[in-house]
Structure 1
Amino acid sequence: MGLVVVRRVGGMSTETSPFTETTGTARFAAYDALAARGPVQRLTLFTGVPVWLVTGYAEARAVLTHPDVVRSAGEVPHRDTFPAPLAAAMNSHMLAANPPDHTRLRRLVSAAFTRRRVAGMAPRIEAVAAALADDLAADGAGGDPVDLVARFAYPLPITVIADLVGVPEADRPAFRRWSSIATYGPAHPADVFVTAVAEMVDYLRELIAARTAKPADDLLSELIRVHEDGDRLSADELTSTVFLLLAAGHETTANLISIGTYRLLTEPDQLALLRAAPERIDAAVEELLRQDGPAQVTLPAVTRAPVRVGDVTVPAGDVVVVALVAANRDPARYAEPARLDLTREPAQHLAFGHGIHHCLGAPLARLEGRTALRTLLDRFPRLRLAEPDTEPQRPPGLLINALTALPVRVD
């Protein structure tokens, strides 16, 4: 059972937490129960932190653009035992910053992480997807089930983002381990979390030193070089930015690929529609992002003054968390929001956030998502779930909406 207390005026009740539910059915049922009480709810997370959880679409957009709802670099897991220098090396990135610091950081990173650089990755992404599909075909040639998460959904984006940033191939398994622990921080003991982050930061500092001495044609070298009006990223900003790009650049995209594939395989009519009209792949990716997106919530924010959200006034100094997956299923915004409908009229979703913190890597995630799905559908006409009667498990946690495994047959 989840560990969340929902506080209501005139009483108190205990509900199942969406963050500790381990199936999509139970997780979304928990979000629906919260949303039924109203678009803004006061609750205590499984981490013990009291927050205001925003589940309504209109309220989420308002919060994400409100000048008095600000990010805090001090909001890190296990903050009571987390060394301050290590927190600075991990959390001095634009996603944890506010204007004018955010404006400065995003401008510097955007100068290196350009749309042109992303578009230039398309041939490499297609090649990686094709090679991984070859491996899937070989592993599943005899009809044996293969895990799409481990064999395709994770390797593709981590290969792509590691190529883009400039992480040597031999170092990628270690970085995936560190990233997984850091991303699911509250779900790990404090000592495990601190050790993983410390090892990751030490590694990034060594890699930055190597690229500073000998630049290469990669994003890390460009981030080191980039400057504007004499300004450049500091040492902590560099380690934090590279961590953010690597972690966010593969965790969320892997979940888009695996959950998106699962949703298509459980909706035969929608799968048939996409096979018959492959030109709808862009629309399909957007609907999959809306219906069961890869990020559960935004990073926590803090109110620096009383903020009116819907019918609720959030006091100054309180923590606010926006439930992206719930806002994307708000019936006040979408007709039949739980239904996957690839013909749905385009409607802006919040899977990549909104406002100044809208995901900088969204174009890369979309490119990888459509390439991955197109590759799977083209290569495997009989792609199907190996365990159609068993709902795949989802790891408990605050930020990420993922599948632990997805057994499929490709023969």
Structure 2
Amino acid sequence: MSFWVLIFLIALLIAVFLGYTMLRGRRAEGPTAEYDLRVYREQLAGVDRDLARGVIGKADAERVRTEISRRILAADAQMRGEGESVGPSRTVTIVAFALMGAVLIGGALAMYRQLGAAGFPDIPLSARLEMAEELRINRPSQTEAEDIATPIQTPPLEESYKTLLDRLRETVAERPNDLQGQTLLAQHETNAGNFKAGYEAQTQVIALSGDNAPAHAYSNQAEMMILAAGGYVSPEAEEALRNALERDPKLGPARYYWGQMLSQTGRPDLAYRVWVDTLRDAPAGAPWGDAIRTQIDDLAFRAGVFNAPDIAASPAAPGPSQDDMNAAAELSAEERQEMIRGMVDRLSDRLATEGGSPDEWARLIAALGVLGEAEKAISIRDEAVTVFAGNNEALQMIDAAALQAGIAQ
């Protein structure tokens, strides 16, 4: 309430100051011509004094008197004209002052109600930082978040894919120390929407890899945890992200989720900086770059950044048109599968003959994994690694697609 009173008093003070200026103009000492009359009368008296001392002759004195008299008459006529048009009446001035005060006070209160935090007490920056840190430390765990998360509705699996997934589960259960099997299980459980089973398998992948576990293994583990928790970055997911960034500080997906964690724990200012740097480094078509572009304007507003650089604009990655998507929605599962296969074949032929961007190679690898053509996906991946040898950003996209296709090494 004290803040509202302060806003009201400041706006009222400004209105009173402006109103006083308006009313003061009506109480001026007189028209400007009145000052001229006083000057001319003093000049006449000066002519008489000069004539008495013999400084000027009678003829000159008469000529000067005539000129000054002419000016006095003109100033007197001007003063009478100004007296007839003294401006708006006092009533009009008071009404204008009241309207101005209402606009200033009402506008200030309305703007604060729209942009401010009405009813929220004033909190110093140091206290806000302490609250953010306390929120980060005491936020719900992964298990608690999963218990309250809204279950994700996933489409039913095709019978053939479901059979292969069940067989993979049985094989991994018989050979729990098989690194490749755990890797495949983690990826395909995630593809099927079983995110908890996915990150549990990914945890086994990291355990079996030991100190040799790469950064993307931890990043994938964190992503599966976040998906299982409905987009929430738990302390366990934060630890996985920390491990990923310690191994590769430039890993795009981990940096994206790290910014998301900062945003969720009351530090949008730090999250904005992380996302801006991540977006600048993101290769064309990177999924984490697209995710940042859709959210960074809102994050910039929360961070108090109103002159954000225009880094969000980026040409869209090549993909199916809206007509293709509408047509696919009307097809049966078998027809849709054939349509996807046709698009994959055309993309494969074009890359083989004309080449393409790293994003197109990555999309082809991921699509082959969805179609279950693991051997062909491995062949395409090996070819892409050769084509983009030395291009770290491109190789990073290829590795991510291979992981999505379940053929990561």
The question of a shared fold, defined as TM-score above 0.5 by the shorter chain, is answered with no
Q: Which structure's relative contact order is higher, taking Cα pairs within 8 Å and 6+ residues apart?
A: 1
* Higher-Rg member (1/2): 2
TM-score (normalised: structure 2): 0.23
Pick the structure with more helix per residue: 2
TM-score normalised by structure 1 residue count = 0.23
